[in-house]
Amino acid sequence: MPACTYACGTADHTVSRRAFLGSTAALGLAGFANPASAKDLAKQQKRVIVVFLEGGLSQLESWDPKPNTDTGGPFKAIQTSVPGTRYCELLPLSAKNAHRLGIVRSLNSQTDDHGVGHTVMLTGRKPEAGITYPHLGAVSARMLGSQEAALPGHIRILPKGGSGFNGADAAFLGPKFSSVGLGDGKPPADLFRPANLPAADDEVREAFRKKLDERFAKSRKSAATDAYTESFVQAERVVKKAEVFDLDKEPSKIADKYGRHDFGRHMLLARRLLEAGVTYVKVSHSNYDTHHENFDFHIEQLAEFDRPFAALIEDLADRGMLESTLVVVMSEMGRTPRINDRYGRDHWGKCWSVALAGAGVRGGAVVGKTNATGTAVTDREVWSGHLFHTYMKAVGVDSTKNFYPNERPVPIADPKAAAIDEILV
């Protein structure tokens, strides 16, 4: 994950270049695409994109406004494209797409900690001793990924400064389904052939490397050596798909619609990756940890979020991809209804909101309710386990089935929860 110093004093984890280069197997095990079927794949393949608002988006300044109350803050609630449903005025373009969105307003994630919250929201489970659960991206890549895909099935697009391979997020599913992080949306460092290295010389070098690998494998073959070999094979094919990273190939009007800033570029790249056959993309936008000046920060952050998010939803719909692409907007927590003495909101996991759209989601649905001041859930409380089941059901995966690491059955999603059917078609 990108380096990110939160207002509360915690720091996000960083991944070193060495860790990425030592684990590039994540680049290699998704398979390769048939270009002739790319357009059909883009419309039919089930995919997931998570927009992760790092630090904790305020539900009161987004999906569940409480204007004219002691906790509501200074902003108005505006009418959306769904009669009777209102969002905060900081999301005017999202409000125009409310008929495509489903909102869960009654989430109790049961933690106010950044790290735990991140894990809970992406695994659908509380941390447990003795087992680490795979993240949504790894599960999606495992259950939805095609052996014909040309690019990694699990990609994270990070702000500047973050990059690398995260071997932990696939847990027992293994490095094949771990994520590859793209710092500032750029291809992994050192992936492409240097300009001063002729292709013929590179082929000779690669042939020599393969001979050495084969000799080594005769006496020391292992899963690790197989993974390294696959990483080189995949890298060759990623080179051939380099155009997916070239945003200059997009019409100017599309780039303008997403926005000519980092997050706009990252969201546009995410759409291009999904269209190219990537199963799961997570786009991070920071920093929402607004312990002070919450309202000023949300004016800035949500102005930057709203346009690219609405552009993505509309772009997917226009391309016939929305019905097969699950879109999720989440954070690791919400913000306190109480406004502190620094005009900020603190950590709050007791009742907050998540937005969904696309595959399997009932557009315009609003599930759950909080009280007039947003301090408690009053209807249909859910937690992250319910959401994980919901994501899986939305893309056609039976979340009650098991994985079998070391021949031990482990349910795909927490068996103590179930899908939120009211938000699904």
Of 340 and 20, more confident: 340
pLDDT at res. 168? 87
Q: Please indicate, yes or no, if residue 415 is contained in any of the structural domains.
A: yes
Pick the range with the lowest mean pLDDT from 31-40, 116-125, 148-157, 308-317: 31-40
Give the mean pLDDT of 104-130.
Answer: 97
- Cβ atoms within 10 Å, residue 101: 29
The values of phi and psi at residue 344, to 5°, are -115, 175
361-406 pLDDT, tens digit per residue, is: 999 999 999 999 999 999 999 999 999 999 999 999 999 999 999 9
Give the mean pLDDT of 57-75.
Answer: 98
- Enter the pTM of the model: 0.87
Most confident among 91-100, 145-154, 166-175 (mean pLDDT): 91-100
pLDDT at res. 228? 63
pLDDT at res. 226? 63
Mean pLDDT of the chain: 88
Q: Please indicate, yes or no, if residue 11 is contained in any of the structural domains.
A: no
Token pair 């084969």: residue: 214
Residue 160 has pLDDT above 80, yes or no: yes
Residue 68: asked if its preceding bond is cis (omega within 30°), the reply is: no
pLDDT at res. 292? 97
Q: Please indicate, yes or no, if residue 5 is contained in any of the structural domains.
A: no
pLDDT at res. 276? 93
Q: Please indicate, yes or no, if residue 9 is contained in any of the structural domains.
A: no
pLDDT at res. 40? 57
pLDDT band with cut points at 50, 70 and 90 for residue 191: low
Given its phi and psi angles, is residue 406 left (phi above 0), alpha (psi -120 to 50 degrees) or beta? Answer: left
User: What is the count of structural domains for the chain?
Assistant: 1
Q: Please indicate, yes or no, if residue 56 is contained in any of the structural domains.
A: yes
pLDDT at res. 152? 87
Distance (Å, whole) CA 352 – CA 348: 8
319-377 pLDDT, tens digit per residue, is: 999 999 999 999 999 999 999 999 999 999 999 999 999 999 999 999 999 999 999 99
pLDDT at res. 14? 40
Residue 182 has pLDDT above 50, yes or no: yes
Give the rounded distance of the alpha carbon of 279 from its chain centre: 11
DSSP string, 118-137: HHHHHHSS--BTTB-PPPHH
Q: Please indicate, yes or no, if residue 1 is contained in any of the structural domains.
A: no
Q: Please indicate, yes or no, if residue 353 is contained in any of the structural domains.
A: yes
Structural domain for 371, as ranges: 17-423
Determine the 3-state secondary structure of 310 from DSSP: helix
Rg (CA), the chain: 22
pLDDT at res. 374? 98
Residue 25 has pLDDT above 60, yes or no: no
Q: Please indicate, yes or no, if residue 261 is contained in any of the structural domains.
A: yes
pLDDT band with cut points at 50, 70 and 90 for residue 150: confident
Give the full edge-to-edge strand order of the sheet including 325-330: 164-166, 179-183, 154-158, 280-286, 47-54, 325-330, 352-358, 101-107, 366-367
Contact 151, 30 (CB under 8 A): yes
- Of 4, 5, 240, 10, the C-alpha closest to 116 is 10
Distance (Å, whole) CA 393 – CA 395: 5
pLDDT at res. 129? 93
Give the rounded distance of the alpha carbon of 365 from its chain centre: 22
Exposure string over 248-263, b if 16+ CB within 10 A, otherwise e: eebeeeebebbbeebb
Distances (CA, A) of 48 to 8, 51, 222, 289, 358: 30, 10, 32, 25, 9
pLDDT band with cut points at 50, 70 and 90 for residue 24: very low
Residue 2 has pLDDT above 50, yes or no: no
Distance (Å, whole) CA 365 – CA 233: 45
Domain CATH number, residue 378: 3.40.720
